[in-house]
Homo-oligomer: A and B are copies of this chain.
Amino acid sequence: MQLRIPGPTPCPPQALQAMSRQMINHRGEEFDKIIKSVTGKLKQVFQTEGDVFVLTASGTGGLEAAIVNTLSPGDKVLSTSNGVFGDRFADIAVQYGAEVTRLDTEWGRQVDLDAVDKALGVDSDIKAVLVTHNETSTGVTNNLAGISAIVEKFDKLLLVDAVSSLSCINLPADDWHCDVVVTGSQKGWMIPPGLAMVGVSEKAWQAHAQAKMSRFYWDFAKARDYLKIGQTPWTPAVSNFYALDATLDLMLNEGLANIFARHARVAQIARDGVKSLGLSLFPEEDCASNTVTAVNVFDKIDVPKLIQILRDEHDVVIAGGQRKLSGQIFRIGHLGLVYEEDIELVLEALSKVLPQARR
């Protein structure tokens, strides 16, 4: 099967074999070795010398952790959403009592740097800025380097949803002053869902010391204390740790630059391919993502039918649109374990099925 949704992504045999390993004591020597190995390698991919913690949760749990570890109820937060996941990040902050200013960008466009600069200039009380590096719902990659420079200029906290970008698209967490950066195991990391990985800067720790939002399961301080003794505060998803240890080796052997280049090549094939089929990209092309391609159907294609025929007759699994984009777009995931020939196969299947799914 070609599983080409934007996560869960296909797992290589090394990951699946690791997933089937028998359990061990999560407070013993063997797990100590694994968590230290995994954490060290994660830091290389995060391009950080700060802390990296692995939480047993999905990516959304990591986003919640980013909020509750750095903020207090009543804190002002600037949300820079341009899609479903940006909205979710802001909603979490609202749920925990933050005062959220929503700088919403039209879906399919990238967040405008001048607008961020202006919003931060207007309200000096804003404490943190929420950014979705790669907006999975629209196939847009935001200019995180540009945004981070502005956030740095105003000396605000930068909280980054990198769930579907980190390890696929360059994201040097330290160079870009990311204070909390969140990713999820079922994306570029090529293992099953179950883990959220979070990078935490020194400035985030300073915020943590003041932050008064309720937190227990997500508390970074507990994660830090237990990591020192080679453990997690709560029983970890041991199997996913085994698998992550294996895929991190694959990734570091390939090399970050090569991984980023591969994702760029594959994405270009996807974009060129859908255009050659007479379709158009949903996002503006200059911000189109290297991990997920969102394709406009302008009511000409029955998206559920397209998805079903692709799956039933061609063993190709793609995703539809979310929320207001339901029925309006389809999405091809190309992150993690993906090569040129995989996307060529998807495009070939699409070329056959599109005529059958026309309205």
Contact = CB atoms under 8 A, between A and B. Distances in A.
Given A64-B217, A217-B64, A22 B11 contact: yes
A19 B236 CA distance: 15
Copy count, this protein chain: 2
A50 interface: no
B95 A215 contact: yes
A116 to B, nearest CB: 24
A214 interface: yes
A61 B74 CA distance: 25
A59 B319 contact: no
A213 B19 CA distance: 36
B19 A19 contact: yes
A131 interface: no
Contacts of A235: 7-8, 58-60, 184, 186, 193
A3 B25 contact: yes
B217 A23 contact: no
Given A61-B234, A186-B23, A216 B95 contact: yes
A28 interface: yes
A1 B92 CA distance: 43
A26 B25 CA distance: 29
B22 A1 contact: yes
Contact of A237 (B64, B97, B217, B237): B237
B194 A239 contact: yes
Interface residues of A, number: 53
A290 interface: no
Contacts of A28: 311, 317
A26 B95 contact: no
Interface in A1-32: 1, 3, 5, 7-11, 16-17, 19-28
Contacts of A3: 22-25
Give the residue among A11, A22, A59, A91 with the most B Cβ atoms within 10 A. Answer: A22
Contacts of A319: 25, 27
A57 interface: yes
A142 interface: no
Contact of A20 (B16, B24, B57, B240): B16
A308 to B, nearest CB: 9
A192 interface: yes
Contacts of A56: 56-58, 61, 193-194
A205 interface: no
A120 to B, nearest CB: 25
A235 to B, nearest CB: 4
A176 interface: no
A214 B97 contact: yes
A230 to B, nearest CB: 15
For the complex of A and B, list the 10 residue pairs with the smallest distance between their C-beta atoms, beginning with the closest. Answer: A194-B237, A20-B20, A8-B23, A60-B234, A58-B234, A192-B239, A58-B235, A193-B235, A19-B19, A16-B20
